[in-house]
Amino acid sequence: MKTLVLEIGTEELPLTIFPEILDQMETLFSEYLQQANLTWSKIKIMATPRRLTVMVTGLPEKQTGKEIEVIGPPYKIAFDHDGNPTKAAIGFAQKQGVSVSELTCIETPKGEYVGVKIKESDQPTEEILAKLLPDYILSLSFPKSMRWHEGKIRFSRPIHWILALLDNKIISFTIDGIKSNNITFGHRFFAPEAITISHPDQYISKLKKAFVIVEPEKRRDEIINLANKAAQGIGGRPLLDKELLNWVNFLVEYPVAIAGKFDDAFLELPSPVLITVMKHHQKY
């Protein structure tokens, strides 16, 4: 079984798309796989302010070919009164690449017709994904989208790179001049250099070494852990507001906690005023 990783590298994405975009990405990708008759084990969605990622495990070498029923001429035209095939039946069978003995009588609202069940040929997963992935990327919807430079496509923010890897093979396609490859990038300031991913199994660990925690759940847990430690260091405890925690989670790729201080005179203001300013304006 094979593993796929698709990463859409962008400029900083707006907070307004999170976390809803994560559910949309998973639902839409599962729909595309079903339509392509591709089975899978698990779809994992990851995201940071600069990337949207889909990782799929358990993909087959080839799709499961669909069995389709092809309807031919009316039965009474395809076979004579003695049950012998006519030229119509023979011609239909030859056209479908089957023997006359494989033809069956099918009841339809219009009467009895000759038909045959044919299994479509299995396409390699790699070939299917080369068509599926660009369609998937351009099908993602956002509250607001934009065009950039002289491009024709629309997305939440400009796309800078696309990583598409099925095991150790690049899924090759181009979107508006952006060619897919096996390259990603680390943290904008701490590790901005290009990173080559040889296999999807390397994706999460290599990004972590480059100061990017790509899994939202683990980044969120790290924020909580760091906030608790910073607060304990000054004898306090953090007010872990769920909404604020979600904002901060999708504002950073590699969280760091700092305990700050302001003049005690400001404590004369009502707590809701202080919290509102810090939460909505400073995001802390």
Query: Which of these ranges, 37-46, 62-71, 152-161, 204-213, has the smallest mean pLDDT?
Result: 62-71
Residues 6+ apart with CB under 8 A from 247: 15, 283
pLDDT of residue 236: 84
Distance between CA atoms of residues 69 and 46, nearest Å:
40
Give the rounded percent of residues in the chain with a pLDDT score beyond 70. Answer: 98
Confidence of residue 241 (pLDDT cuts 50, 70, 90): confident
Q: Residues 240-264, buried b or exposed e (16+ Cβ, 10 A)? A: eeeebeebbbbebbbbebeeeeeee
Average pLDDT over residues 206-216: 98
Distance between CA atoms of residues 41 and 59, nearest Å:
7
Position with higher pLDDT, 240 vs 146: 146
Confidence of residue 194 (pLDDT cuts 50, 70, 90): very high
Domains of the chain (ranges, CATH numbers): 2-62+123-209 (3.30.70), 67-119 (no CATH), 216-282 (no CATH)
Q: What is the pTM of this model?
A: 0.80
- The three-class DSSP label of residue 98 is coil
> Could you read off the pLDDT of 104-140 as tens digits, one per residue?
999 999 899 999 988 776 789 999 999 999 999 999 9
